[in-house]
C-alpha cells in the first residue's frame, strides 16, 4: 500500500504546481538574462571601441606631420613606437606598413590578430576598419586606418600608401561580460528556489481545502452525517465546500426522516405484540383444558376446539418471536456469557427437542471445545437452523462443530447445518435471513413464525459472529455460523467487548 501512495502523491496536484512554477521561472529568468546580456555586452564593447578608435585617429593625425614622406625603415620604426605610446594604461601594439615595408612597436611582433582580409579592406576602401577577434582564447580589438593626404582645393583625399594598425586586448571588457554572465547565473538559482517555494505555498493553499473535503467525505461515508466544512472566502473551493455542506445537510435530513419512520414502524410492531400478549396469556392458559376435554365432545366441536388450541400456540410463538425481534431492534438484547462445553450444549439442544435420532452429528469430544457464549442464545441459533433444515430441506440433516483459529478474530467455533434437499434457489439465497421471507414457490404458510432465521442472525450478530447460507456442491443447503470463543475474557471485572451483567 506504501508505494502506490507515494506514487500518487508524486503525480498529484502539488507536483504539477511545482513543475509549472519552476518552468515559468526558468523561462522568465533565461529570457530576461539573455536580453540583458546581449544589450549590456553590445553597450560595453561599443563604447570601448569608439573610445579606442577616436584616440587612435587623433594620435595618428597628430604624429603623421612630424615624419618625412616617403618614410624609410627607420622612420617606420620610430612612427610605430611613437603611436604606441598613445595607450593609456599600457602601450598599444602598433603595426605600421608602407608599401612592402612594415614596422611594429614591439620588435618581432607577428601581429597574428591581423587578418589579410582586413588589410585588403583598409587598402581598398581607404577607411578606418575595425574587427573584434579572439586569439588564443583572448579577445582583442584590431583597428586599421590608412593615412591620406589632405587635399587643399578639393575634397578628394588620395591614399599615401601608409597604413597603421592597432591591437588592443579587451581583457577589461571581457571581465565585464563575464561578471554579467555570473550575475545572471547567480540570480537564476534563488529565482528557482523562490519559484518552488511559492509553488508549494500555492499548492498548500489549494490542497488544504481539498484535503478537508476528502476527510469530510470519508467521514460522511463512515456514517457521521453531521460532518460539515468550515467555509472560508468566496472562491471556487469555498463554493464547493458550501455545496458539500448543503448536500450533507440534505442527506442527514433524509436519513433522520427514514430512521424516524423506521423507528415508528418498529415501535408499532413492538406495541402490537405487547398488546396481543395479554389476551394470548389468557388463551394460552386454557388451551390445555381444551385439549383435555376435546375427546369428550362431538367431532365438529372437538375439531374446532383443537384448531383453536394449536393456532393459539402458534400465535403465542409468533408474538414471542416478534417481541424478541423488537428487543433486538431496540438494542435491548443483552449477552449473558458463560463458559460452556459447546458440543455438550449442541447435544442438549437436539435432545431437548427430540432430534437426537433424526439429526446426524459431528461434534468434538466432551471438554475439547469450550468457549464463552450465551448458552440460551446458542441454543436458539442452533435450534432455528436445524428446525429450518428439517422443515424446508430433506434428510439427512447433519450438524457439525469444529474450532478454527482466525489470525484476526482469534479462536472461533464453526457450526454448520446441512440438509440433503435440493438446496436454496440462487434468487432466494440473499433473502433467507429476511423477516417473513417466503419464496415464490412456497406460498403456503410454513410451520414456523417466519422469524426464526432472522432471530438467528440477530443472535449471531450479538455474539460478534457471522452466519451465511450457501448451497453445497454435492447438493443441499449449508448454513454456517462462526462465533468468537473469547477464551481469554475474564469471568468478571475485566472489560469485555460485550455487555455483561454478571457479577
Partner 1 sequence: MPRVLIIEDDRAVRDGVRLALRRQGHEVAAAATGEDGLEQLRTFRPDAVVLDLMLPGMSGLEVCRRIRTHDQVPIIMATARGDDTDIVVGLESGADDYVVKPVRARVLDARIRAVLRRVGGTADDQGTARTEHHGDLVIDRAGLTVTHQGRPVALGPSELRLLLTLSASAGQVFSRQQLLEAVWEHNYHGDARLVDACVKRLRSKIGEPPGSPRYVHTVRGFGYRFGPR
Q: What angle do CA 295, 299, 303 make, to 5 degrees?
A: 80
Nearest approach, Cβ of residue 409 and partner 1 (Å)? 20
Closest CA relative to residue 112, chosen from 141, 94, 135, 82? 135
> Residue from 58, 204, 224, 274 that binds partner 1 (CB under 8 A)?
274
| Binding letters toward partner 1, positions 230-269, x by CB under 8 A | ----------------------------------------
Kindly state the number of chain residues that form the binding site for partner 1, as judged by CB under 8 A. 46
Nearest approach, Cβ of residue 242 and partner 1 (Å)? 46
- Dihedral sign, CA of 382, 385, 388, 393? negative
Nearest approach, Cβ of residue 228 and partner 1 (Å)? 38
> Residue from 119, 123, 228, 336 that binds partner 1 (CB under 8 A)?
336
Nearer to partner 1, 1 or 332 (CB): 332
Q: Please report whether residue 59 would count as binding partner 1 according to CB under 8 A.
A: no
Nearer to partner 1, 81 or 489 (CB): 489
Do 469 and 432 contact (CB within 8 A), yes or no? Answer: yes
Closest CA relative to residue 360, chosen from 476, 482, 484, 483? 476
Cα–Cα distance for residue pair 496/482, rounded to 1 Å: 19
Nearest approach, Cβ of residue 287 and partner 1 (Å)? 6
| N-terminal to C-terminal alpha carbon distance within the chain | 46
Specify the 3-state DSSP secondary structure of 422.
Answer: coil
Nearer to partner 1, 220 or 401 (CB): 401
List the alpha helices (DSSP H) in 230-298.
236-294
| Binding letters toward partner 1, positions 443-482, x by CB under 8 A | ----------------------------------------
Nearer to partner 1, 129 or 363 (CB): 363
| Binding letters toward partner 1, positions 92-131, x by CB under 8 A | ----------------------------------------
Nearer to partner 1, 223 or 367 (CB): 367
Largest CA-CA distance found in the chain, in angstroms, rounded: 173
**Which set of grid coordinates corresponds to residue 76?**
617606420
| Binding letters toward partner 1, positions 338-367, x by CB under 8 A | xxx---xx--xx--x---------------
List the alpha helices (DSSP H) in 137-235.
171-221
With a CB cutoff of 8 Å and minimum separation 6, the contacts of 10 are: none
Helix axes 2-10, 13-63, angle to 10 degrees: 40
Nearest approach, Cβ of residue 398 and partner 1 (Å)? 21
> Residue from 100, 136, 226, 292 that binds partner 1 (CB under 8 A)?
292
Task: List, in sequence order, every residue forming a beta bridge with 96; answer none if it has no partner.
Answer: 103, 164
For 131, left (φ over 0), alpha (ψ -120 to 50), or beta?
A: beta
CA distances from 5 to 1, 11, 208 (A): 6, 10, 18
Q: Which residue has the cell 383435555?
A: 292
Nearer to partner 1, 255 or 263 (CB): 263
Q: Please report whether residue 282 would count as binding partner 1 according to CB under 8 A.
A: yes
Instruction: Look at strands 359-362 and 397-406 and give their pairing.
Output: parallel
DSSP character at residue 434: S
Binding to partner 1 in span 364-383, by CB under 8 A: 370, 372, 375-376, 378-379
Binding to partner 1 in span 7-26, by CB under 8 A: none
Q: Please report whether residue 287 would count as binding partner 1 according to CB under 8 A.
A: yes
Strands in 410-418's sheet, in edge-to-edge order, are 359-362, 397-406, 410-418, 477-484, 466-471
Nearest approach, Cβ of residue 427 and partner 1 (Å)? 34
> Residue from 12, 490, 497, 499 that binds partner 1 (CB under 8 A)?
490
With a CB cutoff of 8 Å and minimum separation 6, the contacts of 230 are: 212, 241
CB-count exposure of residue 456 (10 Å: 0-12, 13-18, 19+): buried
Binding to partner 1 in span 304-333, by CB under 8 A: 313, 316, 319-320, 323-324, 326-327, 332
Contacting positions for partner 1 (CB under 8 A): 274, 277-289, 292, 313, 316, 319-320, 323-324, 326-327, 332, 334, 336, 338-340, 344-345, 348-349, 352, 370, 372, 375-376, 378-379, 490-492, 501-503
Amino acid at each position: 500500500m506504501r508505494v502506490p501512495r507515494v506514487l500518487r502523491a508524486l503525480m498529484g496536484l502539488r507536483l504539477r504546481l511545482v513543475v509549472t512554477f519552476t518552468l515559468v521561472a526558468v523561462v522568465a529568468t533565461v529570457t530576461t538574462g539573455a536580453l540583458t546580456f546581449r544589450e549590456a555586452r553590445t553597450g560595453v564593447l561599443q563604447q570601448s571601441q569608439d573610445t579606442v578608435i577616436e584616440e587612435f585617429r587623433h594620435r595618428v593625425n597628430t604624429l603623421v606631420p612630424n615624419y618625412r614622406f616617403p618614410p624609410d625603415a627607420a622612420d617606420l620604426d620610430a612612427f610605430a613606437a611613437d603611436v604606441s605610446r598613445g595607450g593609456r594604461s599600457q602601450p598599444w601594439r602598433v603595426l605600421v606598413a608602407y608599401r612592402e615595408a612594415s614596422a611594429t612597436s614591439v620588435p618581432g611582433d607577428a601581429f597574428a590578430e591581423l587578418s589579410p582580409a582586413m588589410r585588403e579592406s583598409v587598402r581598398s576602401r581607404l577607411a578606418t576598419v575595425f574587427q573584434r577577434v579572439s586569439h588564443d582564447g583572448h579577445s582583442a580589438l584590431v583597428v586599421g586606418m590608412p593615412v591620406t593626404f589632405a587635399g587643399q582645393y578639393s575634397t578628394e583625399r588620395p591614399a599615401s600608401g601608409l597604413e597603421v594598425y592597432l591591437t588592443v586586448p579587451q581583457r577589461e571588457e571581457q571581465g565585464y561580460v563575464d561578471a554579467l554572465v555570473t550575475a545572471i547565473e547567480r540570480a537564476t538559482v534563488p529565482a528557482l528556489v523562490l519559484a518552488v517555494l511559492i509553488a508549494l505555498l500555492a499548492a498548500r493553499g489549494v490542497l488544504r481545502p481539498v484535503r478537508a473535503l476528502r476527510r469530510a467525505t470519508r467521514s460522511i461515508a463512515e456514517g457521521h452525517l453531521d460532518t460539515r466544512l468550515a467555509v472560508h472566502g468566496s472562491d471556487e473551493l469555498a463554493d464547493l465546500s458550501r455545496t458539500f455542506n448543503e448536500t450533507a445537510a440534505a442527506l442527514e435530513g433524509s436519513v433522520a426522516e427514514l430512521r424516524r419512520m423506521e423507528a415508528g414502524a418498529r415501535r408499532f410492531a413492538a406495541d402490537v405484540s405487547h398488546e396481543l400478549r395479554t389476551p394470548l396469556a389468557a388463551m394460552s392458559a386454557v388451551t390445555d383444558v381444551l385439549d383435555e376435554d376435546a375427546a369428550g365432545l362431538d367431532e365438529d366441536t372437538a375439531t374446532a376446539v383443537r384448531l383453536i388450541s394449536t393456532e393459539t400456540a402458534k400465535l403465542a410463538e409468533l408474538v414471542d418471536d416478534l417481541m424478541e425481534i423488537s428487543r433486538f431492534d431496540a438494542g435491548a438484547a443483552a449477552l449473558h456469557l458463560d463458559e460452556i462445553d459447546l458440543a455438550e450444549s449442541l447435544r442438549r439442544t437436539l435432545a431437548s427437542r427430540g432430534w437426537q435420532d433424526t439429526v446426524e452429528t459431528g461434534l468434538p469430544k466432551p471438554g475439547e471445545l469450550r468457549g464463552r457464549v450465551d448458552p440460551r442464545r446458542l441454543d436458539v441459533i442452533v435450534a432455528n437452523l436445524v428446525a429450518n433444515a428439517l422443515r424446508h430441506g430433506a434428510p439427512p440433516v447433519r450438524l457439525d462443530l469444529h474450532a478454527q483459529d482466525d489470525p484476526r478474530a482469534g479462536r472461533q467455533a464453526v457450526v454448520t447445518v446441512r440438509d440433503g434437499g435440493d438446496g436454496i434457489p440462487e434468487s432466494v439465497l440473499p433473502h433467507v435471513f429476511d423477516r417473513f421471507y417466503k419464496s415464490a414457490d412456497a406460498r403456503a404458510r410454513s410451520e414456523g413464525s417466519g422469524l426464526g432465521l432472522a432471530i438467528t442472525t440477530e443472535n449471531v450478530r450479538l455474539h460478534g459472529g457471522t452466519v451465511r447460507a450457501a448451497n453445497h456442491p454435492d447438493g443441499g443447503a449449508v448454513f454456517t455460523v462462526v462465533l468468537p470463543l473469547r477464551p481469554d475474557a475474564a469471568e468478571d471485572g475485566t472489560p469485555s467487548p460485550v455487555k455483561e451483567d454478571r457479577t
